[in-house]
């Protein structure tokens, strides 16, 4: 694994080299390095956006301890896991685009990487699994803090379908005499 000077650095993982190791990426360079850096920056911003003010600093104040047992150590481990999970999710979405029209050498390198080799045909299922895992981890990282509820989204439009009334069926409306009137003719 080559050592590269990255513009963005991981938030909770000790170094980008360790993050690459956890992601099982052995040789990140060229365009793949640019994608890695972009994903890393997106994860940093995403973690700051997802967690309340000061929560990131509170979690970072506890040093990572492998096999930690205290509540703070476990929270830091969850933060490390969230960062790796989020990176894996973004890379599984973005790296395949790099190799669509690639040469045979690039495809061979693609197949040698642990992260991309395992995704294969099951990428959609893996992405869905990672999204669910990330959601659980971010909920755990919120701790006692409640999400911001200062804004409420409200839909004030009309329903897309008419409200059913007595005599309505899936095929239209029946009048008093039992005759069907298609919904398109009722003006609703």
Enter the tokens of residue 40.
């890393």
Task: With CA atoms as reference, report the closest residue to 24 among 121, 160, 115.
Answer: 115
Q: What are the sequence ranges of the domains in the chain?
A: 16-142, 154-188
CA–CA distance from 183 to each of 86, 140, 162, 163 (Å)?
47, 49, 9, 12
Helix, strand or coil, per DSSP, at residue 142: helix
- Asked if pLDDT for residue 164 goes beyond 90, the answer is no
Q: Are 23 and 115 in contact (CB under 8 A)?
A: yes
In this predicted model, what pLDDT tens digit does every residue of 61-84 receive, in sequence order?
A: 999 988 888 989 999 999 999 999
Compute φ and ψ for 170, nearest 5 degrees. -70, -20
The residue ranking higher by pLDDT, 87 or 100, is 87
pLDDT on residue 68: 86
**Prediction pTM value:** 0.64
pLDDT on residue 175: 62
């Amino acid at each position: 694994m080559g050592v590269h000077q990255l513009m963005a650095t991981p938030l909770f993982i000790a170094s980008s080299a360790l993050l690459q190791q956890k992601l099982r990426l052995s040789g990140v360079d060229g365009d793949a390095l640019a994608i890695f850096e972009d994903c890393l920056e997106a994860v940093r911003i995403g973690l700051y956006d997802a967690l309340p003010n000061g929560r990131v600093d509170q979690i970072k104040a506890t040093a990572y301890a492998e096999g930690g047992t205290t509540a703070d150590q476990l929270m830091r481990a969850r933060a490390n896991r969230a960062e790796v999970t989020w990176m894996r999710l973004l890379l599984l979405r973005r790296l395949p685009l790099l190799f669509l029209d690639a040469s045979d050498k690039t495809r061979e390198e693609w197949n040698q990487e642990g992260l991309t080799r395992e995704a294969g045909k099951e990428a959609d299922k893996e992405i869905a699994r990672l999204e669910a895992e990330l959601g659980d981890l971010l909920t755990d990282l919120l701790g006692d803090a409640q999400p911001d509820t200062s804004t409420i989204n409200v839909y004030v439009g009309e329903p897309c379908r008419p409200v059913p009334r007595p005599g309505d069926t899936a095929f239209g409306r029946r009048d008093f005499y039992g005759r069907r009137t298609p919904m398109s003719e009722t003006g609703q």
